[in-house]
Amino acid sequence: MEEINKNNLPKHIAITMDGNGRWAKSKGKLRIFGHNNGVKAVRDTVEAAAEIGIEFLTLYAFSTENWNRPSKEVNALMTLLVSAINKETKTLMDNNIKLSTIGDTDILPSKAKKELAEAIDKTKGNTRMTLVLALSYSGRWDILNAVNEITNKGVGNEKITEEQFQQYLSTKSVPDPELLIRTSGEYRISNFLLWQIAYSELYFTDTLWPDFRRANLEKAILDYQSRERRFGKTTEQIQN
Ligand code: IPE
Ligand code: IPE
Ligand code: MG
């Protein structure tokens, strides 16, 4: 197998973890069985990303739109969030990984907020990788939130720059992802990091999230490394 080039790693990888429901259905099980098994994929991917040398990993775990699912499924996902954070804080400590979140987390159930706050506090000194969980997140929420903050601050008639605008997004301390992965064969963004993925490389795989492992992540990174990122320029400009 080809080797990952350590000099051309994405600093930030974002993943839309999709396909838990279909994975469960294919096994004749309830959707929540798929979500439960998605936790193993999260653990393996997080550990692999840190070992490879990725600095930021953002996982889309629950979208603004996911609140519209049947309440039974929403409740089960919130319960799973609490138990997964509780169990996996040790994995984060063992691997020197810092936890953070983006999204409208104020509206999460209080148990989930408490568990998250504890894990964030416990891991705040860790330095190898930052794991960002997108929870109750959507790209439009993020952008509107920024606009509202700017308006409330009364920045006045001055025009603001891209750099200034970015400081109001939930991702202000995270570079834009160079690579966005989506599992389960769906070719859409589903309101994930809209502003931040302006120039991200997109990678789609048919693998359903509960089956995603280190080898799948490595394959995505190798694919990323085979691409020429031109940022509007010509090949000749890039190569000279
Ligand atoms: C992703 O899997 C997990 C969440 C959105 C919370 P899905 O639950 O969307 O699984 P499918 O897409 O129905 O298979
Ligand atoms: C996107 O998956 C959100 C997460 C993975 C958290 P969905 O399964 O909710 O996306 P759509 O609705 O099929 O686009
Ligand atoms: Mg889905």
pLDDT digits (tens, 9 = 90+) for 157-166: 778 999 999 9
Per-residue pLDDT band for 155 (boundaries 50, 70, 90) equals low
Alpha-carbon gap, residue 235 to 30, rounded angstroms: 49
152 included as an active-site residue: no
Q: Can you tell me the distance from the alpha carbon of 124 to that of 163, in angstroms, rounded to the nearest whole number?
A: 26
Averaged over 12-23, what is the pLDDT?
Answer: 99
pLDDT at 154: 76
* 3-class SS letters over 31-94: HHHHHHHHHHHHHHHHHHHHHHCCCEEEEEEEEHHHHHCCHHHHHHHHHHHHHHHHHHHHHHHH
E-assigned strands of the chain? 12-16, 56-63, 97-102, 129-137, 179-182, 201-204
Q: How far is the CA of 237 from the centre of ligand 1 (A)?
A: 41
Query: pLDDT tens digit string along 111-140?
Result: 999 999 999 999 999 999 999 999 999 999
Any ligand 1 atom below 6 A from CB of 212: no
Look at residue 2 and tell me whether its pLDDT is greater than 90.
no
Q: What is the mean pLDDT of residues 194-218?
A: 98
Kindly report the average pLDDT of the chain as a whole number.
97
Distance 91 CA to ligand 3 centre (A): 26
The answer, yes or no, to whether any atom of ligand 1 lies below 6 A from the CB of 18, is yes
- Annotated catalytic residue, options 18, 20, 37, 216: 18
CATH numbers and ranges of domains, the chain:
6-138+177-228 (3.40.1180.10)
Nearby residues of 73 by Cβ (< 8 Å), 6 or more positions away? 31, 32
Q: Which long-range contacts (CB under 8 A, 24 or more apart) does 155-160 make?
A: none
Question: Which residue matches tokens 């991917």?
Answer: 45
Please choose, from the candidates 227, 137, 131, 225, the residue with its C-alpha nearest in 3D space to the C-alpha of residue 189.
Answer: 137
Active site residue 18: yes
Given pLDDT bands bounded at 50, 70 and 90, which one contains residue 43?
Answer: very high
pLDDT above 60 (res 1): no
How much distance in Å is there from the Cα of 4 to the middle of ligand 1?
A: 30
Model confidence, pTM: 0.98
Separation of alpha carbons 134 and 60, rounded Å: 5
